[in-house]
Structure 1
Amino acid sequence: MSLLTPDFGLLFWMLLSFLIVFGLLAKFGFPVITRMVDERREYIEQSLVTADEANRRLAEIRQESEGILDEARVRQSELIRQATAESEKMILSAKEKAAIEAQQQLDEARRQIDAQKQQAMSDIRGQVARLSVDIAEKVLRRQLDDPAGQEVFIAHLLDEIEKN
């Protein structure tokens, strides 16, 4: 008997033990293994379905967020436009108000100048009247009969007035 060639008895017992082990595995092991493989396959399929659902939801959420961002950008530009228009209105209103106030102040200054001018003219008229009365009084006091003397006296009085 050679070590490399098995004899018939050894082959019979090897085949018998193989069939017994195969039968036990077929009866008890393979159903458990196939059940575990099936469960694993179902778990993987369920995970793939869940992942696809998650990807689909993520895509929807991205679309929604893009829509919200676009809407926010539009709203932001609208608010900026409104704020710019409002600030321009305020600036224009302030300019108009400042122009009106400046015109009012200018008119008031002109009225004051006119009033002061009228007051000065009134004062000058009063002074001229007083001076005229003073001159007439002095002329009458002297009662000069000589017209040349009166002219000299009037010139003298006018010089005094200019000095005062």
Structure 2
Amino acid sequence: MELVTPALGLLFWQVVTFLVVLFLLSKFAWKPIMGALREREESIDSALTMAEKAKLEMQSLKADNERLLNEARAERERILKEATDAANHLVESARAKASEEGARMVEQARLSIENEKKAALTEVKNLAATLSIDIAEKLIRRELQDEQAQRALVQSYLQDAQLS
């Protein structure tokens, strides 16, 4: 039973040895160990702080990237809308120009046809007048071959002239 219950002398020397070891440890070992622990704790805290800052910076960068992406999308939509509007304007302008050109060509054709018609009518009138004169000349020559017929015709014209 002696092993289970230590003697009082043994207990005393164990306590003294423990206190000496405790004093030596506190004097020489605890300060460097505690300093190393404090230093490690500070480095862990600074690493956590840096990680938090990096996380916040990443969130800020992500927000900036999202904002830039949204601005780029808006710019793309604006450019597409401007391009579509410009294309529509060009198409409408081309349509209007083609319509005006068509109307101008139709008007020119109508004027040309009208001028050709007038020229043809004038030519027909001139031809009819020339033919009438030729026919009248031939008729008058035939009828006025004798002198008595000429006098009767002159008398008839004089009477018509006095009545008018």
Structural RMSD (CA): 3.5
Match of 1:150 in 2: none
Match of 2:10 in 1: none
Structure 2: distance between partners of 1:99 and 1:66: 49
Q: CA offset at residue 86 of structure 1? A: 3.2
- Equivalences, count: 145
In structure 2, list runs of 5 or more residues that go unmatched. 1-16, 146-164
**Given the two structures, how large is their TM-score scaled by the length of structure 2?**
0.65
> Is 1:83 aligned to 2:83, yes or no?
yes
Q: CA offset at residue 123 of structure 1? A: 1.2
The C-alpha deviation readout for 1:63-92, integer Å capped at 9, x for no partner, is 232233223323332332233233223322
Match of 1:44 in 2: 44
- Structure showing greater relative contact order (alpha-carbon pairs closer than 8 Å, 6 or more residues apart): 1
Q: Kindly provide the amino acid, as one letter, of the partner of residue 87 in structure 2.
A: S
Q: CA offset at residue 21 of structure 1? A: 8.2
Q: Kindly provide the amino acid, as one letter, of the partner of residue 82 in structure 2.
A: Q
Match of 1:57 in 2: 57
In structure 1, list runs of 5 or more residues that go unmatched. 1-16, 146-164
Match of 2:108 in 1: 108
Question: Percent of counterpart pairs with the same letter?
Answer: 33
Q: Kindly provide the amino acid, as one letter, of the partner of residue 74 in structure 2.
A: V
> Is 1:70 aligned to 2:70, yes or no?
yes
Structure 2: distance between partners of 1:37 and 1:138: 147
Q: CA offset at residue 20 of structure 1? A: 8.2
Q: CA offset at residue 27 of structure 1? A: 3.5
Structure 1: distance between partners of 2:138 and 2:36: 146
Match of 1:132 in 2: 132
Q: CA offset at residue 56 of structure 1? A: 1.2
Structure 1: distance between partners of 2:78 and 2:86: 12
Q: CA offset at residue 25 of structure 1? A: 5.6
Match of 1:97 in 2: 97
Structure 2: distance between partners of 1:70 and 1:43: 40
The C-alpha deviation readout for 1:30-68, integer Å capped at 9, x for no partner, is 433332232122112101111011101211221232233
Q: CA offset at residue 133 of structure 1? A: 1.5
**Given the two structures, how large is their TM-score scaled by the length of structure 1?**
0.65
